[in-house]
């Protein structure tokens, strides 16, 4: 698989990046299905309408970064949960 090819993966979680008040800003981590490598990305890389967030265990499609191979770009959430689930 080369740079720029679409990949599928699972969100492993969120790690603090040290930015923002009290380190509140963080980077998400996705593990690729095929290569099992971990890729980091910030919320600005999530392609969606509304809130740009993901959940641990959620399936995504992404592209490995052209400048940094350990970064993910254009992260698209698959099987997005119903927004009503957030308000229960």
Can you give the residue range of the structural domain that contains 12?
Answer: 6-80
* CATH number, position 60: 2.40.50.140
| pLDDT tens digits, 71-88 | 888 898 887 666 666 666
CA–CA dist 44, 28 (Å, integer) = 11
| pLDDT tens digits, 13-65 | 887 665 555 555 558 899 999 989 999 898 888 888 777 888 899 999 999 88
CA–CA dist 82, 61 (Å, integer) = 19
The answer as to whether 19 is a domain residue is yes
The answer as to whether 10 is a domain residue is yes
CA–CA dist 61, 87 (Å, integer) = 26
The answer as to whether 85 is a domain residue is no
Give the pLDDT of residue 33. 94
Number of H helices, E strands in the chain: 0, 6
The answer as to whether 1 is a domain residue is no
The answer as to whether 48 is a domain residue is yes
The number of folded domains in the chain is 1
The answer as to whether 87 is a domain residue is no
Instruction: Give this prediction's pTM.
Output: 0.73
The answer as to whether 88 is a domain residue is no
């Amino acid at each position: 698989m080369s740079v720029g090819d679409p990949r599928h993966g699972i969100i492993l979680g969120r790690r603090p990046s040290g930015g923002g008040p009290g380190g509140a800003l963080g980077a998400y981590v996705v593990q690729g299905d095929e290569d099992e490598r971990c890729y980091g990305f910030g919320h600005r890389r999530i392609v969606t309408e509304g809130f740009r967030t993901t959940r641990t265990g959620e399936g995504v499609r992404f592209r490995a970064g052209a400048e940094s191979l350990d970064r993910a770009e254009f992260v698209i959430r698959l099987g997005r949960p119903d927004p009503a689930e957030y308000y229960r």
